[in-house]
Amino acid sequence: MEILSDNYQRLSYDKELSMLEILWTELSVEMTAELLQEAMLLQLEIFKRFKPKRCLINCKTFFFKIPPKLQTWITNHFYSVEYEYGLEKMAFLISEDLIAQVSIEQTLADEPVPKFPVQYFDNEEDALIWFMR
């Protein structure tokens, strides 16, 4: 079920899998740090509403390079809140843009003690198999 769609992201929820899917669009290349922050705050509202156990973040067309200051904000304000809402596993479909992918991984690396397992995949099928383990 699609929940939200804008220029930069599409969010859908699968009740049977208790999974939120976040798909970043090609327009992410045009984002600013402020727009990414706003998009992520919308995502937190969705987490609060649906309390998914799994989250699949499709970054294949995510082309925004997350600046270090925003990486810190994401670490401090995003991942711990998702955990509080019941998130158990997070999977990323890796970006086609190497620099964007490195900025995503660096953001997660800043998390001092990961509160839930995170894995990176190049296809959705492998991510879904991992979720079911």
Domain extent listing, the chain: 2-132
Classify domain 2-132 by CATH architecture.
Answer: 2-Layer Sandwich (3.30)
Mean per-residue pLDDT of the chain: 89
Q: Where are the beta strands (DSSP E) in the chain?
A: 2-5, 9-14, 19-24, 54-58, 89-93, 118-121
User: How far is the C-alpha of 40 from the C-alpha of 43, rounded, in Å?
Assistant: 5
pLDDT at position 40? 92
User: How far is the C-alpha of 68 from the C-alpha of 89, rounded, in Å?
Assistant: 24
pLDDT at position 42? 95
Q: For residue 111, what pLDDT band results from cuts at 50, 70 and 90?
A: low
Which of 10, 88, 91, 23 has the alpha carbon at shortest distance from 56? 91
User: How far is the C-alpha of 120 from the C-alpha of 4, rounded, in Å?
Assistant: 24
Q: Pick the range with the lowest mean pLDDT from 34-38, 57-61, 87-91, 113-117.
A: 113-117
pLDDT at position 75? 81
Q: Could you tell me the two tokens for 76?
A: 């401090």
The pLDDT tens digits for 21-73 are 999 999 999 999 999 999 999 999 999 999 999 999 999 999 888 898 888 88
User: How far is the C-alpha of 38 from the C-alpha of 4, rounded, in Å?
Assistant: 13
Structure-token match 């049977």, residue found: 16
- pLDDT above 70 coverage of the chain, percent: 95
pLDDT at position 108? 66
